[in-house]
Amino acid sequence: MNRDKVLLPGKWVRWLFVFLFTVMAFTGFGQMPIFKRYYIADIPGMGWSADFFTTHIIHYLGAAIILGLFAYLAAEYALSIRRRYSLRPAGWVRVLILAGIVATGIVRVLKNLPDVTFSPGFTMFIDISHLVLMMLYLSAALLFTLTRQGWVRDRAPARPS
Amino acid sequence: MSKDISRRNFIKAGLAAAGGLTVSRIPLPNSVKGASPKELATLIDIRKCIGCEACVEACAWVNEVKFPEPEKPFPKMYPSRVKVSDWSDRRDVTDRLTPYNWLFIQEARVNVDGKERILSFPRRCMHCQNPPCADLCPWGAARKLENGITRIHSDICVGGSKCRDVCPWEIPQRQTGTGLYLKLLPSFAGNGVMYKCDRCYDRVARGELPECIDICPEQVQKIGPRDEIVKEAHAIAREIGGYIYGEKENGGTNTIYVSPVSFDELNKAIEKGPGRPHLDPVKDAMAHADNLAKAMVIAPVAGIAAAAARFFKSAGSSSGRGKEEDQS
């Protein structure tokens, strides 16, 4: 393959990513008993948000799709993208926060399997870390969008001819 | 039939569980494995219960130190739709589950062998094998111990009552004005602490029997390793042409009832409602989580395969005709 030609993810990836993160943030907050208390579930069409099993299923389903998407992007980066692009600091910050979200999410999924028992302190640490990392990611994503800092930069920017 | 789940066997199993409890205090995962052979289950033989409520009184007496002493007046709750739940002035209520009554006697007027009889039986937390209350608790306050007990840590619980909402039997009961939420945002988040039977986890950890089992004059309940309890329940059911409840409900519980009449019939005859659980068949509430966890293992493999297929297809068809985009 030509060194300068690389496979980059299509625009659909960005939109899928934004959609999934919106859904995950909403259903993640919905794991706390707040949507019924604070009238979210009273909004027409939002009654489902007060059903903990529904939000849990959506959150799990979203997590499976996100894991697939992350693996796809990581593999595409390793196989192709890194030939020409490298992660910029703003990209590294995103990747590290996302890795933390995924890691704490995996531990929480493990805890929910039959007969997997964690101490209450560890469970609380995982739950709060997952929540804080997600809020951190949303803040970072907003900041990087406003300051126009993307994920990657060209390893060898084109020279003026 | 298992001859007897003797006190000695029980104490041995209890000590093993106590070891597990000690390990589980280490703030790290202590087990990632399949069904635990250390799980203890209780057998409740409905034929034997005379409804004397000795177990109810003993439960209240032995667990009194765990009962809430709420601070009053309660914080004003926002929004106003959030109602306080106060049982502190009704501690003597024994005909339903409350934060001060973790076990009650349920009664059913039914026909047994052509004669009308009132059957009575103790009701409390079923201690599910995969408890949704513990799985879905957003704080880690509710959790399952290796010995099959599901308990709620009253020092961590903030009383959101999610555990009650996801429990198929709506067992946990809330008391407002106590617990961690008072130190956080008492008017805006939480509403007290949830309470339910903890199957005397502290006594079990010491190798003692849960008080309701120990005190029962009719030996209605037994406790022992789950496989032995299930075997015994089936043997009794075979012997009397009876029925079993709790073995498969919600994917399996650690409370197995044996009855001479069907649970469908019993369910129709009991008083049901808040604090008075039903005897309906119950599907495994957490089955979706187990199935989707498998999907989470497969998804990354599929993602890598898709990326590799795209890359090799592009590399094979032409040198670098892949889609290229500027990305800043």
Cα of A108 to nearest chain B Cα, Å: 9
Question: Taking CA atoms, what residue in B is nearest to A113?
Answer: B290
Angle in degrees, 0-180, between the axes of helices A120-146 and A11-29, rounded to the nearest 10 = 140
Give strand ranges (E) for B204-288: 221-225, 243-245, 255-259
Q: A66-96 burial, b if ≥16 CB within 10 A, otherwise e?
A: bbbbbbbbbbbbebbbebbbebbebbebbbe
- Residues contacting residue B326 through CB under 8 Å, at least 6 positions apart: none
- Residues contacting residue B80 through CB under 8 Å, at least 6 positions apart: none
| Residue written as token pair 């409740």 | B44
CA B303 to chain centre: 37
Would you call B30 and A119 a contact, using CB atoms and an 8 Å cutoff? yes
B234 touches chain A (CB under 8 A): no
Would you call A124 and B139 a contact, using CB atoms and an 8 Å cutoff? yes
Encoded amino acid at B229, one letter: I
Query: Nearest Cβ partner of B322 from A7, A74, A85?
Result: A7
Cα of B26 to nearest chain A Cα, Å: 7
**How far is the C-alpha of B4 from the C-alpha of A64, rounded, in Å?**
47
pLDDT string in tens for chain B (328-residue length): 343 444 444 444 444 444 444 333 333 333 333 345 589 999 999 999 999 999 999 999 999 999 999 999 999 999 988 999 999 999 999 999 999 999 999 999 998 878 899 999 999 999 999 999 999 998 889 999 989 999 999 999 999 999 999 999 999 999 999 999 999 999 999 999 999 999 999 999 999 999 999 999 999 999 999 999 999 999 999 999 999 999 999 999 999 999 999 999 999 999 999 999 999 999 999 999 888 999 999 999 999 999 899 888 887 765 544 444 444 3
- pLDDT at residue A159 tops 80: no
Would you call B27 and A113 a contact, using CB atoms and an 8 Å cutoff? no
**How far is the C-alpha of B204 from the C-alpha of A23, rounded, in Å?**
43
CB distance B103 to B56 below 8 Å: yes
How many other CB atoms are found less than 10 A from the CB of residue B86? 17
Query: Nearest Cβ partner of B307 from A61, A79, A110?
Result: A79
Encoded amino acid at B99, one letter: P
How many other CB atoms are found less than 10 A from the CB of residue B111? 11
**How far is the C-alpha of B227 from the C-alpha of B64, rounded, in Å?**
32
Cα of A124 to nearest chain B Cα, Å: 5
**How far is the C-alpha of A154 from the C-alpha of A159, rounded, in Å?**
12
Question: Residue A82 in 3-state DSSP?
Answer: helix
**How far is the C-alpha of B326 from the C-alpha of A157, rounded, in Å?**
11
Beta bridge partner(s), residue B123: B104
How many other CB atoms are found less than 10 A from the CB of residue A115? 17
Q: Is B172 exposed, middle or buried (0-12, 13-18, 19+ CB in 10 A)?
A: buried
ipTM of the complex: 0.83
CB distance B168 to B132 below 8 Å: yes
Would you call A124 and B322 a contact, using CB atoms and an 8 Å cutoff? no
**How far is the C-alpha of B170 from the C-alpha of B11, rounded, in Å?**
31
